[in-house]
Every structure is written in structure tokens, then in C-alpha cells.
Amino acid sequence: RSFLTILGVVIGTSSIVMMISLGLGLQQSLYEDANQSGGLTNISVTGAAVGDNNNYFASSQEEESNKYISDKTVQELAKLNHVVLSSPFYQLNCVMLKGNYEGYVDLYGTTEEALKAKNLELAFGTLPPPSGRLSFVYGNGLLTNFTEKGSNKGFYETGTLPDIDLMKDTLFLVMDSASYSNSQEVTNNDTANESNQENVKKPVNKMAVKASGVIKGGINDYTSYYSSAFCNIDVLKKTLKTQFGNSIIPGQPTTKGGKPYK
């Protein structure tokens, strides 16, 4: 009876300690995830998606351009009570190439102040400069986006990361991921139709880019920045205008006549 009593006390005490430890661990993990995403003080404001015909963002009498986020919108949000910082944020799905590897990456452009406010802990380098050539801060898991051309096998299939040093190696950036995908489909398909053949004739613009920094963490340290790349939005805007010229930039809204808004 004494042995069973002691055993019951030990099991009960151990269970309570274990549950408290698990609860505190989960709570700490939730706090860290929230802080990495901007915490409870960060609000993302979006307008209508490009091509969205719904009118819940603006009445039918309102100007079409008022549905979208503009520099004026950012300035107006900055004037609201208790707003410490209001910054534009632009997302672009692009392709990065290195040797026999290719990776589809979410690229985010924002201001220098907003990047500093994110408190990104870097293992190497610094934040992207506000002028000069386009450079990036890479997430610690960016290389998991890369796959080998032809086999389409990457880290999650092979368990091996590509032989790429993000801080030292130069990568090639393709901002028009749709054109790149079309060109790859035609290259891998001898029976491609004529419309795709036309896309192949259009050269895909590639530009050499380097890292300014890499976020701290190992391949198993998952964060909201894990597989993304960040850059300065002013440098990105200049680069986009150079790359696309008079063409429509991905995500750029247009008038009913097909002309892009400034």
C-alpha cells in the first residue's frame, strides 16, 4: 500500500509538472511567433486585388483607383492616432537561379525604417542599403526553395541543400516568373503550341544580385521570414521600372483601357 501510494504521488506530481512545462513552452512559442510577425502592434492594410470586380472596397460611384493602396494611402494612415510607423509593402513572386538550381521565392520590398522595425536578427551582413544596386536579406531557409533543373528535386526530396553560399555567391534574379515558367514549359515540351513558341522568342531578363545579409537560424528554425527575401522598396521600384519598361509590372492595377496606374 505504501509503495502504491508513493507511486501515485510521483505519477501525479510528474504529470502536473509536465503539463505546466508544456503549457509554458507553447505559450512562449506563440509569443515568439507573434513577435516575429510584428506582434500585436502590426496591422497589414490591403486594397482590392488586381482584377477584383467586387465593390466592397469602394462604392460604384467611387473612382476605380481609390480601391488600391497608393503612396497617398500610406501617408494618410501615418496621420492616424497611435500609428508609430506606416510603410508600403510590395510582394513579388520571382525566380532565382544558380548553376543547375532554380528557386521560386517570395520577394518583399519595404522601407528601411520598416525593415529596422522588424528587428531581423542577422547571422551575417547588414540590412539592404536604401540606394545603389538591388540587394537582399535572405531568410535562413531560402535554400529549401531551390530544386535541381530537370529532376525538380530539392531539399525535401533529397535531404540535401544545394551547394550555394548565400552571402558569397551571386544569384541570377528573374522578376517575370510567368515568362520564365512559359519558357521552361516550351523547352521541356517538343509539342508546344504556337503561342508558347512566341513566348520563347521573348528573352527572359536575368540580373545578377548579391546578398546584403542572411537571417540568423538553422534549416529547422522556422519563422515567418524563413524562405523569403527582403529588399529596399525604393531600389526595387527603380529596378522594376528598368526591367519592365512600359509593360505592366506584376500586381500593378490598370485602367479599363489597360493602362497601368502610376
Cα separation of 206 and 193, whole Å? Answer: 25
Amino acid at 131: S
Entry pTM = 0.75
Q: What is the pLDDT of residue 62?
A: 56
Compute φ and ψ for 217, nearest 5 degrees. Answer: 140, 155
Q: How far is CA 75 from the centre of its chain?
A: 24
Task: Specify whether the CB–CB gap between 103 and 94 falls below 8 A.
Answer: no
Closest CA to 261 of 60, 69, 119, 45: 69
Helices and strands in the chain: count of H runs, count of E runs: 7, 8
Is 172 in a helix, a strand, or coil? Answer: strand
Q: What is the pLDDT of residue 202?
A: 60
Which three cell numbers mark 54? 467586387
Q: Which helix (H) or strand (E) holds 261?
A: none
C-alpha pair distances (Å), 209 with each of 24, 89, 135, 166, 170? 43, 20, 6, 10, 6
Residue-by-residue pLDDT tens, the chain, 262 positions: 999 999 999 999 999 999 999 999 888 878 777 766 556 788 888 887 766 555 455 455 456 667 788 888 999 999 999 999 999 989 999 999 999 999 999 999 999 999 988 888 899 999 999 888 999 999 999 999 999 988 889 999 998 999 999 999 999 999 988 888 888 776 655 544 554 454 445 678 889 999 999 999 888 888 778 899 999 999 999 999 888 888 888 888 888 888 887 7
Residues 6 or more apart from 16 whose CB is under 8 A from it? none
Cα separation of 139 and 120, whole Å? Answer: 10
Long-range contacts of 216-220 (CB under 8 A, 24+ apart): 216/121, 216/122, 216/123, 216/140, 217/123, 217/140, 217/141, 218/140, 219/140, 219/141, 219/143, 219/144, 219/155, 219/161
